[in-house]
Copies of this chain bind each other. A is one copy, B any other.
Amino acid sequence: MKNPLTSDFTIGFLGAGQLARMSAVQAFRYGMQVAVFSDRPEDEPVKFMTPHSYSGSFDDVNSMMEFAECCDVITLENEFIDSKVLRELRDRSGTPIYPSPESFALIENKLIEKQTFENAGIPVTPYSLIQDEDGLKNFGDKYGWPYLLKSSKGGYDGYGNKTVQNEEEAGSAFKKLGGQERHDILAEAFVDFTHELAVQVARNEKGIVVYPCCETVQKNHICVAVKTPAPVSSKIQKKAQELAIKATETIDGKGIFAYEFFLTSSGEVLLNESAPRPHNSGHYSIEGCVTSQFENHVRTVCGLHPGDPSLIKPSAVMINLLGTQKRTAVIENAEEAIAQPGGHLHSYGKLQSKTGRKMAHYTLLGDDTEAIYNKAVKLTKGIEI
């Protein structure tokens, strides 16, 4: 790969949502050009940030070739593409892709992901591949009800997931998720957890850095807030960070990776999910850390040394600002949040708002996590989008 600090060096994003947008901003900062390939017409956050905008299908390598040939390196902003497609795209275009298709193949399917990490000695939540109604019943008998059914590919923010309380619900959810016809369906035991934790890791041939362990606050399977550092013992924080590093090394990851963990009531740290890209749990790092997850995304896939992930203040909290209604997007009643010293609003430039859609976020830094969390909740409570 040529020197990424060459003036016409172009980084390409597969996916044009807010994660690519926030990484693209960091690419600009290094003088790079940005290209974007989108399979969704509603994916506008990056389209207005570059003249190099392409669209087509994630299933059709031909539709991606022009994009790939315009790039010096390609990276991911979501997991909706298949690693085989990625491999073909790389091999035909000659453009490197990081995280590599080989790393991605180890985690793209939730079943293979569990096996990959389990084999490396990383504790994961109890799971089983479900092939039929008997499987649904047996899993409930073994681990208890309720449990979680998940599509092994393509789920996010609660889509592709379903909590099932009994055999009847399990049977109907199994069908709704596509049975075995689309992707494998996985059952996951409900974990009796006290906290949901997350850690980001940036890694390439020049080095590896690990971000602080944060807590994600979830409502209806959607992350609504993040507290950093997580309000758990430093021993637990360190454990999660160690597992995150081990997981990244296990898949020989090059890029930025995020790992979500359950801290169980008995003090275990179990890996729940991984993502080969920047993650909602790391948005606080834009202002909260010396080097944000987005900057380290760009640095690591381009072969630059990963930057210092240290917090610049003792605490950082991030509040997701979800659409409150269906309309042309506009953020209202944000004056107080914007005027707050140390408060930082980010909007993703999506043209249309709808209820629950991730539209923006708000970060507040300070000295005491709970105090700034309460303040940030209060400051953002009246915001309408």
Contact = CB atoms under 8 A, between A and B. Distances in A.
A28 B25 contact: yes
Interface stretch (A83-91, A134-142, A213-221, A348-356): A348-356
A48 B48 contact: no
Contacts of A334: 5
**For this complex, into which size category does the number of interface residues on chain A fall?**
35 or more
B342 A305 contact: no
Interface string A313-355: 1000000000000001111101100110110011111111100
A330 B53 contact: no
How many copies altogether? 2
A50 interface: yes
A349 B25 contact: no
A312 B351 CA distance: 34
Nearest to A44: B7
A341 B308 contact: yes
A3 interface: yes
Contact of A51 (B21, B50, B299, B347): B50
Contacts of A6: 328-330
Contact of A342 (B30, B290, B332): B290
Contact of A30 (B3, B48, B345): B345
B33 A28 contact: no
A29 interface: yes
Contacts of A349: 7, 28, 31-33
Contacts of A341: 290, 307-308, 310
Interface in A17-33: 21, 24-25, 28-33
B345 A3 contact: no
B348 A31 contact: yes
A335 B304 CA distance: 8
Interface in A247-305: 290, 299, 304-305
Contact of A31 (B50, B299, B332, B360): B360
A374 B109 CA distance: 51
A206 interface: yes
Contacts of A8: 328, 351
Nearest to A21: B28
A223 interface: no
Contacts of A329: 6-7, 31
A306 to B, nearest CB: 9
Nearest to A330: B6
A49 interface: yes
Contacts of A29: 25, 346-347
Given A28-B49, A299-B338, 11 more contacts: A3-B332, A7-B328, A29-B346, A29-B347, A31-B350, A48-B51, A49-B50, A290-B341, A307-B341, A310-B341, A312-B312
Q: Top 7 nearest A-B pairs by Cβ distance?
A: A31-B347, A7-B329, A5-B331, A308-B341, A305-B339, A31-B349, A6-B330
23 contacts: A5-B334, A6-B328, A6-B329, A7-B329, A7-B351, A7-B352, A8-B351, A25-B25, A25-B28, A29-B347, A30-B346, A31-B346, A31-B350, A34-B49, A48-B51, A48-B52, A49-B49, A50-B50, A304-B338, A307-B338, A308-B341, A310-B341, A312-B313
Interface of A: 3, 5-8, 21, 24-25, 28-34, 47-53, 206-207, 290, 299, 304-305, 307-308, 310, 312-313, 328-332, 334-335, 338-339, 341-342, 345-353, 360
